[in-house]
Amino acid sequence: MSKINPANLENKVMNFHQKVLNPAKDALGSQIPETPFTDRMTNAIRQVAKAQEEAAISAKNFELGVETDLSKVMMKQQVSSLGFQLTLNVRNKVLSAYKDIMNMPV
């Protein structure tokens, strides 16, 4: 049985990654995003938080009589709810993928 060398394994993974990613970049051009996944998730969470704040302010203004258009208030509530549900589903998928990877035999 041969021993697994972590440095060699890392090099093999990086080489494979480059072999797969380079043709994909050539085929798709600039469609592959360069921003890291964590930055995208952070921005998405901030946008959802902003939508929730706007929905809360809109609802408060409607209750106080400042805002008179109920449809705008309800639409902001729905956008906020949908954004939260989407973010929650992405989080659940990421956690599920992480658990699957951690349970893989080495």
CB 53 within 8 A of CB 83: no
Closest CA to 75 of 96, 97, 54, 44: 54
pLDDT at 25: 57
Between the alpha carbon of residue 60 and those of residues 52, 57, 77, 83, the distances in Å are 12, 5, 12, 20
pLDDT at 26: 57
| Cα 55 to Cα 25: distance, rounded to the nearest angstrom | 40
pLDDT tens per residue, range 6-42: 566 566 666 666 666 666 555 555 566 678 888 988 9
- Record the tokens describing residue 64, joined without a space: 């106080």
Whether 97 has a pLDDT exceeding 60, the answer reads yes
pTM for the full predicted model: 0.61
